[in-house]
Amino acid sequence: MTMTSLERARGEYLAHLGVERGVSDHTLSAYTRDLERYCAFLTVRGRTALGEVTEDDVVAFTEALRTGSDGGTVLAPSSAARTVTAVRGWHRFALAEGTTASDPSASVKPPPSSRRLPKAIPVDRVEALLEAASIGDGAVPLRDRALLEVLYGTGARISEAVGLAVDDLDLDGDVAAVQLFGKGRKERVVPVGRYAVDALEAYLVRGRPELARAGRGNSAVFLNTRGNPLSRQSAWAVLQTAADRAGLTEHISPHTLRHSFATHLLAGGADVRVVQELLGHASVTTTQIYTQVTAQTMREVYAAAHPRALA
C-alpha cells in the first residue's frame, strides 16, 4: 500500500523523536496513537498533506478529543493535552524542516487539566512496603528489596531503575551514587543512602549472580529469573506484591515512591531546587507541585495544634 504524504511526514517526525530526541518507547507509542488519530481526522476533512492543514483543523481536532465527534474515544484532559502536545510538536518539526511554510497549531493551546497533587505515603508505610519486599529466601527477595530501596532512595522513575547497568553504580566512593538516564537520555547522578546501599550490596553479592547464571551475560543490575533485564511490567508486579503483603490499601505505583521521595525530602527541609535536580525535572515549576503537599501538611498540623487555629 502506498503511503500518503501525511503518513510519510508522520513517520519522519516519529523517527526524529525516537532516534534524535531519544524519547522513551512508552512515549513514542502514545504519540504514534495520537498522531494516527490526527491523520485520520485530517483525511476526513480532505487534507492530503501537512501544508494544507489550517488552524481551524487543529481547533476542530481538539474539540473532537473532548467530545468524541470524530468517532474516537473521549479523552481525559491530561490525555487530550498530551495529544495536542504531540500535534503541536509535529507541526513545529515540519516548519523547522521546511516541509511547511507555517505552523497552524502555534496559537492552539492544550485543554486545561486539573492538576492533581501527587500521592505520597507516610514514612512508616514506605518502611512496611520495603520490609514486605524482602520476605522469603533466595535471590528474588534480595532483588525486590534492592529495587524498591533504589526507587524510594533515589526518586528514580521505574524505567530509570530497570535501565540501570552495573557500571552505573558507585557504591564504594565517599558518597555512594547511581547514574540515572532520564527522559531523552538526560543523565544525572543521584546520591544513595545507606539502606539502599546495603540492599544493593546484598543483592549484588548473594542474589544477582544466581539470577545471572540462567542468562547469557547481561550488564543490567536488576535481572529476572531467566537472567534477562527485569521489565517495567515485572517491576510493577514486584511493587504490587510487596504492597499486598504489607497490607497497604491505597493505590501504590512506582510513582508513589517517587512522589514520597520528593515529599519527604521537602518536609525534611530540602531546598526545592535540590529536589528538582534529584528528580531530573527540566523546570523547577514541575517540582513545585510537591511544595503544595507539604504546605497542606503544615496547614493540617497548624489547625490541629494551635490553640487559636479554630474559631
Quick one: cell of 267? 518536609
Q: If you count DSSP H runs as helices and E runs as strands, how many of each does the chain have, helices first?
A: 14, 3
**Cell triple for residue 55?**
488552524
Grid cell digits, residue 235: 517491576
Q: Does 203 qualify as catalytic in the annotation?
A: no
Q: Which of 91, 125, 259, 281 is the catalytic position?
A: 281
- Of 290, 302, 306, 308, which one is the catalytic site residue? 290
Grid look-up 501527587 returns 118
Exactly one of 157, 208, 259, 264 is catalytic; which is it? 157
Give backbone dihedrals phi and psi of 220, rounded to 5 degrees, phi first: -65, 145
Tell me whether residue 157 is one of the annotated catalytic residues: yes
Does 91 participate in catalysis according to the annotation?
Answer: no
Beta strand extents in 50-183 (DSSP E only) = 169-170, 177-181
Which one, of 120, 92, 116, 133, lies nearest residue 9 by Cα? 92
Cell of 192: 544513595
State in Å, rounded, how far the first CA of the chain is from the last one.
73
Is 259 among the catalytic positions?
no
Residue with cell string 504489607:
246
Q: Of 294, 236, 286, 306, which Cα lies nearest the Cα of 260?
A: 294
Name the pairing type of β-strands 187-191 and 169-170: unpaired
Of residues 37, 47, 88, 258, which has the active-site annotation?
258
Sign of CA dihedral 42, 44, 45, 50: positive
Compute the half-sphere exposure of residue 271: CA atoms within 13 Å on the CB side of its CA. Answer: 3
Q: Which of 183, 188, 232, 245 is catalytic?
A: 183
Catalytic residues: 157, 183, 255, 258, 281, 290
